[in-house]
Amino acid sequence: MSTDAEIQTRLIVGFEIHVQLATKTKLFCGCALGFGETPNSALCPVCMGLPGALPVLNRQAYDYSVLTGLALDCEIAEFTKWDRKSYYYPDLPKNYQTSQYDLPLASNGHFEIETKSGTRRIGILRAHLEEDAGKNLHDVPGCSLIDLNRAGTPLLEIVTQPEIHDPEEAYTFCTELQKLVTYLGVTHGIMQKGQMRFEPNINVAITTGGTEYRTPISEVKNLNSFRSVRSAIEYEFHRQVHDWKSDNGYLIKERPNENRGWDDDKGVTVFQRSKEGADDYRYFPDPDLVPVTVTQDWVNEVRLSLPELPAARIKRLTTDLKLTTEDAAAIVANRATADLFEAAIEAGGPATTLMKQYLNVWAKLANDQDASIAGLGVGHEAMASLAAMTEKGVVNATAANKIAEALIGSDKSPETLAEEMGLIAVLDEDQTEKWIDEAFAENADAVKDAVSSPKKAKKAAGFLRGQVMRISGGKANPKITGDLIEARLAELASEG
Amino acid sequence: MAEIDESLVRHVATLARLKPDDAEVASMTRELTRIVGYIDCLNELDTDSVEPMAHPLALRNVFRADEVRASISAEEAVGNAPERERTFFKVPKVLDTGGGA
Ligand SMILES: [Zn+2]
């Protein structure tokens, strides 16, 4: 990715991504997820690893995993089994993690992202299900406090091919993947809560004098923000090139691969441990869990719940409804919100006005409530009617704002609310003329400017229209008012 | 068949967090060699066309629905712990270099 006088470098990045699935319960027991505040309050003999407990697989976790595999164009394995990955750590009560070792449930997929240099297709090596460990707290001197509420939470681990060559591309990949899995509804995907954790494997190919050298691979553990993914990769690229320049023996297989952590405050990666030799986890099949066989019928059934994916949906909305890519992307970002939008279109909402209200009126109200537009609880029919009323001029834009706000938490129709709130625009010309009479009488100077001062005419006419709106209490129709004012001014001008 | 020697026994002991003394390592090496040697007779069979067995039972696809079942109380959960702090398990300090998920 850069050319020195004598060396060329190419960054190589692959990802391991842990996605916490949005099931109600743990992977192998019925303990609730969502973790109450009380430590160790969501435990049972299974997730505590007590002797004699019998784990049973959560079907929903498997379905979510198959769905994700399909969205990533993976092959879904017909047969998988469960393996024990043994290691000792206080947050791992059974002293092994239940995982899928040699038979992942999905493999050989890919995921396409749009980058500055065009569409990039990143290979997905595999995706498998496993359980999370508990949490360690180190805030008491000399000891660690263990909370096992998280132990047994279903994680889908997605492993990519090392096919990313730019920190910005890595950033895009991670953000788009997060959008995809939240769109599928398989995870809540909240980064701050650690529901998606990214671990890039990074090294650099350095070419000099016709020979290519590769630096040892470093794995940066548990990144939980997109920004830190990009920064850690940038940092590692420069560090590895620097380390190779000062020691030409800094090469894969000659120096150990290592695990590193990311220090967000200092903006550096920190050495954690070197991986001398392969880790010895002594995987073996779990005798407590029986294998899973997935039939074609099962896969087809899951495939039915595969929604139209964001990229395709954005494309369709821009083509069918003539929305800009930017507007379509804003709507599609949240699946429920996009569904609501399309239902409102289906119910007869005029696309352009609905779009404007969606991105201005509804988005603002949602933002005020810290909710999504769908989360406001206003139905698609009400949204469609309000847009239609606005388009027809039955209510004006300001009134539409007020009605939208009133619709939240109300079971009344926009028509009813408009009437009750006295916001129905007056289309009647005689009534409008009366308001104009009043406005003209009150603002003789502005009328004079509008008629005889070419410089000020436009502004004065706008001012007069505003006065009519004010006098009418917002009920005047702006278009009718404007037309009538214009006619009246023309008349006055011709009278001289 | 991997040969069971003392270094392998020490490696396995380390992984299992066991600290055998030299005499124990010597006797374990002898015993494990005999045990593994006995099982080794299975290698006389031609298993090329036999699928590896993932589970001794012919059962497949045992699932549960994603429904919450009552957990035990936090008090019960930590009740048998040698040391606790509020409802945390309290253990000697560990450095965060565990295997992780
Ligand atoms: Zn449990």
pLDDT tens digit sequence for A194-238: 999 999 999 999 999 889 999 999 999 989 899 999 999 999 999
Q: State the span(s) of chain A assigned CATH 1.10.10.410.
A: 429-495
**Helix (H), strand (E), coil (C) string for chain A:** CEECCCCEEEEEEEEEEEEECCCCECCCCCCECCCCCCCCCCECHHHHCCCCCCCCEEHHHHHHHHHHHHHCCCEECCEECCEEEECCCCCCCCCEEEECCCCCCEEEEEEEEEECCEEEEEEEEEEEEEECCCEEEEEECCEEEEECCCCCCEEEEEEECCCECCHHHHHHHHHHHHHHHHHHCCCCCCHHHCCEEEEEEEEEEEEECCEEEECCCEEECCECCHHHHHHHHHHHHHHHHHHHHHCCCCCECCECEEEEEEECCCCEEEEEEEECCCCCCCCEECCCCCCEECCHHHHHHHHHCCCCCHHHHHHHHHHHCCCCHHHHHHHHCCHHHHHHHHHHHHCCCCHHHHHHHHHHHHHHHHHHCCCCCHHHCCCHHHHHHHHHHHHHCCCCHHHHHHHHHHHCCCCCCHHHHHHHCCCCCECCHHHHHHHHHHHHHHCHHHHHHHHHCCCCHHHHHHHHHHHHHHHCCCCECHHHHHHHHHHHHHHHHHHC
Nearest chain A Cα distance for residue B96, angstroms? 8
pLDDT of A224 reads 86
Q: Is pLDDT at B99 greater than 50 in this prediction?
A: no
Give chain A's residues under pLDDT 70. Answer: 1-5, 35-36, 277-278, 496
B55 to chain A: which residues are within 8 Å by CB?
Answer: 81, 285, 287, 289-291
B74 to chain A: which residues are within 8 Å by CB?
Answer: 38-41, 43
Q: Where are the domains of chain B?
A: 6-44
Q: Minimal Cα distance from A40: which residue of B?
A: B74
Tell me which of 3.40.50.2300, 3.40.50.720, 3.30.9.60, 1.10.10.410 is the CATH number of domain A429-495.
1.10.10.410
Kindly state whether A42 is in contact with chain B, defined as any CB-CB distance less than 8 angstroms: yes
Ligand 1 center to A198 CA (angstroms):
26
Ligand 1 center to B55 CA (angstroms):
23
The model's confidence at residue B101, banded by pLDDT at 50, 70 and 90, is very low
Collapsing DSSP to helix, strand or coil, B83 comes out as coil
- Tell me the ipTM for this assembly: 0.88
Using CB atoms, which residue from B64, B69, B94 is nearest to A144? B94
Q: Which residue in A265, A286, A235 sits closest to A95, CA to CA?
A: A286
- What is the percent of chain A where pLDDT is above 90? 70
pLDDT tens digits along A459-472 = 898 999 999 988 98
pLDDT of B98 reads 46
B60 to chain A: which residues are within 8 Å by CB?
Answer: 290-293
- Which residue type sits at A468? V
Mean pLDDT of chain B: 88
Rg (CA), chain A: 31
Using CB atoms, which residue from A56, A91, A280 is nearest to B98? A91
Nearest chain B Cα distance for residue A307, angstroms? 21
Any bridge partners for residue A124, and if so which?
A109, A160
Ligand 1 center to B78 CA (angstroms):
14
Kindly state whether A17 is in contact with chain B, defined as any CB-CB distance less than 8 angstroms: no
Q: Are strands A57-58 and B63-64 parallel, antiparallel or unpaired?
A: parallel
Contact B54 A97 (CB under 8 A): no
Q: How far apart are CA A49 and CA A53, in angstroms?
A: 7
pLDDT of A458 reads 86
Residues 16-55 of B with CB under 8 A from A: 17, 54-55
| Record: fold of B6-44 | Histone, subunit A (1.10.20)
pLDDT tens digits along B7-58 = 999 999 988 889 999 999 999 999 999 999 998 888 889 989 988 888 988 8
Ligand 1 center to A28 CA (angstroms):
7
- Between the alpha carbon of residue B2 and those of residues A286, B5, B11, B19, the distances in Å are 23, 9, 14, 22
A144 to chain B: which residues are within 8 Å by CB?
Answer: 90-94
